[in-house]
Structure 1
Amino acid sequence: MALDSLRGDREFRKVRAHGVAVRDPLFTLRITEYRPRHGETWRPRAIIGIVISKKTLKRAVDRNRARRRVREALRTLPGGLPPCRAILLPNPAVLTADFAQVQGALGRALARAPGRVKARGGNSGSVRPVPDPVTPDSSPAGGTP
């Protein structure tokens, strides 16, 4: 599957607002399901923006090297990329970790993509059964003796 980049502030804001954060010691991934851009035909693919701030890595050489390592790990991921939109925020540990570790961590994080995992615990949008309302006649504690 092709790896495209997020374009424009609007797309980044949408992923930040609606995405699910997946944290790892190597990076933070904010991921949401794939939806086509306005006026675009339905062509499921991974659209990922890689953001590394100067606060995270001071030197431009390190930021660029981290970006290249992460992009290559995503491109050569064994299971492929799920259709999604994501923002990837690498940590400085990406520079010292083995390439296989980076790929494994990215694979595990992307496996939790909203389009792939639906039966997850927690507040994943599942509907809980609503108890039947208690009528005054069937109340065991109150009522007439």
Structure 2
Amino acid sequence: RAVLLISLCVSATGFLFTTPHNPRSISLRGGTSSLHMSDAKTPKKVVICGGGIQSAAIAYYLSLRGVAPTIIERSEIACAASGKAGGFMARGWGNGDTAEFHEVSFDLHEQLSRDLKLKGYRKLPTLSVSAGSR
């Protein structure tokens, strides 16, 4: 019996991003190919360690593929950084290695609000200010 264990680390050097709405992936830094869920048989049991927003997103997208994952959290769901965030994001906040990730994330939030019929999602104008040299 195959069991897939997913453990998330904020300081990871790469990420996998593929959804039914936007099937693309971004490989690990250094050119190593990333894996896709379609590369292997979908496991029957999936355990996700951590109850933050990334874990919730992984569980959601796995459920769309017919998998019923189990999330394990030592305290409460969204008890750490994910539960403290204000939910603010702007399309242009990423730069360098993360620029594409920010673009995709921005669009994904809007798509999820439509799919899940969330009433609290709204777009607001943003202004980024940075100090220049004198």
* TM-score interval, smaller chain: under 0.3
Greater relative contact order structure (CA < 8 Å, 6+ sep): 1
- The structure number with the bigger radius of gyration is 1
